[in-house]
Amino acid sequence: MVIEWLESLRKQGMKLGLENTSLILSRLGNPQNDFPSIHVAGSNGKGTTCSILSNALSLLGLKIGLFTSPHLCNVEERIRIDGKQISNLEFMVHLKNLQHVCEITPKIQPTFYEATFITAMMYFSSEKIDRAVIETGLGGRLDATRLVNADCCILTQISLEHTDILGETLSEIAREKSAIAREGIPLISTWNDCESVRKMISQAVSSDDLLEWYKPNEGENFTTEAKNLANLALTKLGYPSNCDEALKFTFWPGRMHIIDYSQSFQIILDCAHNPSGMQRSLSEIKNHHNDINQIIFGCTEQEDLDNFLIPLVRFMRTVKIHNLILCEPVGGRTKGVETRVLKKYLHAYFPNLNFYEEQDTFNTVNKALSFPSKSKLLCIGSLYLIGNILKILNLDDADSMTIFRK
């Protein structure tokens, strides 16, 4: 079956480079060239920027494709038109066509990520969209999405991540991510306080007048930053800057996601995959939800676990936590950090706290519900953890994942 073929591609893991994707797209008639795209890279805030920008363009009456990754619950979430994910039937039709093309001699075996990206391009072309908003997966220079026909590029906040692949310094990472810039195409970049990073980004554009810096205000949250970056892109392309209006209809699942489970039980979901993302997420949560009394936490393997956990420690010192439930997210590309490792680290800071270990993520919410007091539960950690919890709560269907709610 074609879905089994797709799942088999996971075994390849991650592979940077454009050769395979370029060849497959050419066999398909280069569907990515049938529409212009706005290409977005960066370390944090990419998905939020893409969702707001996509919805802003949809509000203008345009038919807008959106490709993002990874997904929370179901692979179809990666591919949307006007906020609604591709149906399973449509996904399978295009995926089967892709499999057929890949088996033409000489055979090509794409990665799982490349296959989903190419499927998105096929779907968008067949649906005759007006334009697309495309999020990079990792990096930029050698990311498959680099092959889209971009007429505007956006660079969100850059921080240390995937240093084994992108480089060990911010400057090296900036070089990889800013390489989405094209000759003669505008690049909108979030300001970075590091001069060498700014220099690297400036060198990516063909002329100074194509680069526009966006300098966030101190303490600005991801959503505001994303909205302002999106507005700048709309202005560059000659569209009305309507992202304030678009934000009213934008719902980005699993990100600052509030669920009123019952009168006495509220759940806040958010995900972060690197230390800077964790710091900013928890700072925003503290400003709006300082009455949290339970936390579910789990994460996948980190390059620097200490720096990833420090923001959580600082946050927990400012709120009255009754219970901390540790778990190991499943379904991701990388393994979950063992609960015993997390407990050993966090118990040193909070020796009197109630710790609970649930290796099976699907028991975590039931554990939180088992405590009798009125609860405000924060679920934070890896994107895969949040995806697991959305499945537990039966919020993983297509309607729940729709991001444009007009």
What is the β-pairing status of strands 79-81 and 64-67?
antiparallel
Q: What number does CATH give the domain 257-392?
A: 3.90.190.20
SS (HEC) of 254-296:
CCCEEEEEECCEEEEEEECCCHHHHHHHHHHHHHHCCCCCEEE
Separation CA 294–CA 219 (nearest Å): 25
**Nearest partner of 199 among 232, 225, 174, judged by Cα:** 174
Domain limits of the chain? 2-248, 257-392
HSE, side-chain direction, 13 A CA sphere, residue 108: 21
**Nearest partner of 320 among 358, 350, 357, 283, judged by Cα:** 350
Separation CA 202–CA 183 (nearest Å): 13
Same fold, 2-248 and 257-392: no
In this predicted structure, what is the pLDDT of residue 304? 87
- Which single residue is written with the structure tokens 């039709």? 93
DSSP secondary structure code for residue 86 in this structure: P
In this predicted structure, what is the pLDDT of residue 48? 94
In this predicted structure, what is the pLDDT of residue 335? 84
How confident is the chain (406 residues) per 10-residue block, as mean pLDDT? 92 80 98 98 92 98 96 96 97 97 95 97 98 91 95 89 63 90 95 91 91 89 92 97 96 93 91 87 90 93 90 94 93 85 96 92 88 87 93 94 94
In this predicted structure, what is the pLDDT of residue 165? 55
- Sorted by sequence, the CB contacts under 8 Å of residue 66 that are 6+ apart come out as 50, 51, 54, 79, 80, 81, 83, 132, 133, 134, 403
Q: Count H helices, E strands: the chain?
A: 15, 14
199 C-beta neighbours (distance < 10 Å), count: 13
Q: How many residues does the chain have?
A: 406
Query: Quick check: helix, strand or coil at residue 373?
Result: coil
**Nearest partner of 118 among 46, 41, 35, 26, judged by Cα:** 26
Long-range contacts of 285-290 (CB under 8 A, 24+ apart): 285/256, 285/315, 285/378, 285/380, 286/315, 286/318, 286/319, 289/376, 289/378, 290/318, 290/319
Does this model's pTM top 0.85? My answer is yes
Query: Quick check: helix, strand or coil at residue 177?
Result: helix
Separation CA 268–CA 128 (nearest Å): 37
CB 79 within 8 Å of CB 119:
yes
Rounded to whole angstroms, the maximal C-alpha distance in the chain is 64
In this predicted structure, what is the pLDDT of residue 166? 61
Pick the CATH number of 2-248 from 3.10.20.30, 3.40.1190.10, 2.60.40.650, 3.30.1370.60: 3.40.1190.10
Query: Quick check: helix, strand or coil at residue 174?
Result: helix
**Nearest partner of 83 among 246, 232, 221, judged by Cα:** 246
In this predicted structure, what is the pLDDT of residue 158? 86
| SS percent in the chain: helix, strand, coil, step 5 | 45, 20, 35
